Amino acid sequence: MIKMVVNMQSEKVLEANSDFYNAFQNLSIERMEGVWKHDEDIICVHPGWDLFVGWFAIRESWITIFHNIETIKFIITNPKIKIFDEISIVVCIENIEISINQNSVKLGVTATNIFEYSNDIKKWLLIHHHGSSVSNYISPNLSVQ
């Protein structure tokens, strides 16, 4: 019974993680708004950028990113989940195919995503994203859907 509850929680956490990448893939600021906790002390570290603190700054960073990307596709591999009472942590590899200025490149990013459970809306909300480029990245043999 306990195991069932844990599995259900894992599914919910992975769902929140997928919602984040779907928002990114759809370059949708509206979906991104639904994924994050709108708080002043949430943190976002985009690969190679300075860190952003607070929803207002993080939202602006996504607008800038979405403005500069033509298309982006994600395949998430190797997700590792830890769930505590109110916090869950997902570490995963983002296998990315991105088009900028009509050039397509493949790259890998290691991500730490931390979610906080909201009792109000019964949902895991993103409070921390830390992405960093994988050196010597070799794209896995996966077809991007």
The pattern of x and - marking residues 76 through 115 that bind its own copies according to CB under 8 A reads ----x-x-xxxx-x-x------------------x-x-x-
**Is residue 41 a contact residue for its own copies (CB under 8 A)?**
yes
Strand segments, DSSP code E, in the chain are: 43-45, 51-53, 71-83, 87-100, 103-118, 123-133
| Contact track, its own copies, 54-73, x by CB under 8 A | --------------------
Q: CB neighbours of 35 closer than 8 A, spacing ≥ 6?
A: 16, 19, 20, 23, 125, 126
* The two structure tokens encoding residue 39: 């708080």
C-alpha to C-alpha distance for 92 and 130, rounded to whole angstroms: 11
Least distance between its own copies and beta carbon 144 (Å): 22
Residues that bind its own copies (CB under 8 A): 41, 43, 45, 47-51, 53, 80, 82, 84-87, 89, 91, 110, 112, 114, 116, 127-128, 130-135
